[in-house]
């Protein structure tokens, strides 16, 4: 079997304590992620992988460095940001109990492992900046200041209560000043 995510392990199979390291740059074979951000097809994925032979199989650990693209969850601007993900999984030798990953024909195929770790690390609600004000709920236009900075219209049914709150606050402040 061959492919960009397939690494040979023949020289370390069933030799506990042996280790190999690999650094790879692979284009994403397809779009990874179904949300408002994803790793687009063809985007470079940098992998640093350590393969360690243990009694049960090959322990694979490493990091993925790539970039995701998509839209801000608040204002819908296009965004792109770096993504770094750590992963670790045991590829068991064939014949064991139900294993999620197995050593196959003296190689390990990392594509599923790397894809799953990357997709799970994508932000659920990405923003273009931490204080992104989002969109105006009435006009749909991008806001230029945080939503709290503009006075939201008061529902006319609650206007009388707003007056009570305003008077109560002023009354309390005046009373506090008199007591001082």
Q: Is the pLDDT of residue 37 over 70?
A: yes
- The span from the CA of 87 to the CA of 132, in Å, is 31
Tell me the domain boundaries of the chain: 6-121, 153-179
Given phi > 0 = left and psi -120 to 50 = alpha, else beta, which region is 67?
A: beta
Q: Which of 78-87, 156-165, 170-179 has the lowest mean pLDDT?
A: 170-179
Q: What is the pLDDT of residue 169?
A: 53
What DSSP state is assigned to residue 104? B
**Strand 44-54 versus strand 37-38 pairing type:** unpaired
Q: What is the pLDDT of residue 2?
A: 80
Q: Is the pLDDT of residue 88 over 90?
A: yes
Written as one string, the DSSP assignment of 123-159 is: -SS--SSTT---B-TTT-PBPSS-GGGSPPPPPGGGH
Note the pLDDT tens digit of each residue in 93-149: 987 677 789 999 899 999 999 999 999 999 999 999 999 999 998 888 999 876 555
pTM of the predicted protein model: 0.77
């Amino acid at each position: 079997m061959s492919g960009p995510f397939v690494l040979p392990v023949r020289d370390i199979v069933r030799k506990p304590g042996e280790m190999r390291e690999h650094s790879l740059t692979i284009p994403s074979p397809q779009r990874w992620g179904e949300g408002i951000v994803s790793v687009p097809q063809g985007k470079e994925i940098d992998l640093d992988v350590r393969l360690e032979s243990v009694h049960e199989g090959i322990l694979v650990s490493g990091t993925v460095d790539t970039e995701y693209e998509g839209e801000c969850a608040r204002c819908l601007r296009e965004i792109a940001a770096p993504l770094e993900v750590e992963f670790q999984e045991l590829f068991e030798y064939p014949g064991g109990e139900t294993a999620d990953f197995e050593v196959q024909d003296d190689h390990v195929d990392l594509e599923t492992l790397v894809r799953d770790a990357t997709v799970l690390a994508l932000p659920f609600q990405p923003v273009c900046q931490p204080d992104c004000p989002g969109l105006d709920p009435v006009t749909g236009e991008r806001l230029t200041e945080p939503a709290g900075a503009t006075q939201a219209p008061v529902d006319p049914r609650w206007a009388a209560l707003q007056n009570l709150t305003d008077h109560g606050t002023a009354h309390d402040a005046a009373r506090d000043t008199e007591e001082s």
